[in-house]
Amino acid sequence: MSAGQDFLQEQVTLSAPQDGDRGGGPRTPNRTCLGCREEAAKRTLTRLVRGLDGTVRLDRTGRAPGRGAYLHPSMGCIELARRRRALERALKAQVDTALWGDLETAARREAAPATALPEDG
Ligand SMILES: [Zn+2]
């Protein structure tokens, strides 16, 4: 006769993605790089801001008040923006030469290989 085959049903729970959540578009805000004119996620770009005093500076927090402009942290894009005076035009302000130095420093840091940090803390 047949052996009682009772409790062999395994409930396989697959986390099936529901299709209902699609179609809203990406949440990440995009900005245009002043250098290469390509759109990129805001987080990946360096923000420059014209402060209330009219000075353009690097905005490391990304939240400084004032008119902002965005640039890839790469030498190529910095150089392009610099030569086209794209930053001056975008912010309608004078850009101090020192700012380009700051940008290049930031770009170099970005390009540098990440130093191996100890994983255990
Ligand atoms: Zn760029």
Domain holding 43, by residue range, is 30-111
Report how many domains make up the chain. 1
Residue 121 counted as domain residue: no
- Tell me: the pLDDT tens digits for 30-47? 999 999 999 999 999 999
76 CA from centroid of ligand 1 (Å):
7
Which residues have beta carbons under 5 A from ligand 1 (an ion)? 33, 35-36, 72, 77
Residue 107 counted as domain residue: yes
| CATH number assigned to the domain comprising residue 42 | 3.30.1230.10
Residue 94 counted as domain residue: yes
φ/ψ (deg, to 5) at 69: -140, 160
Residue 114 has pLDDT above 90, yes or no: no
9 CA from centroid of ligand 1 (Å):
56
46 CA from centroid of ligand 1 (Å):
10
- Tell me: the pLDDT tens digits for 93-108? 999 999 999 999 989 9
The whole-angstrom separation of Cα 49 and Cα 85 is 15
36 CA from centroid of ligand 1 (Å):
4
Instruction: Give the pLDDT band (50/70/90) at residue 121.
Output: low
Query: What's the mean pLDDT when you consider all of the chain?
Result: 83
Confidence (pLDDT) at 15: 55
Residue 105 counted as domain residue: yes
Residue 56 counted as domain residue: yes
Rounded to a whole number of angstroms, the CA Rg of the chain reads: 25
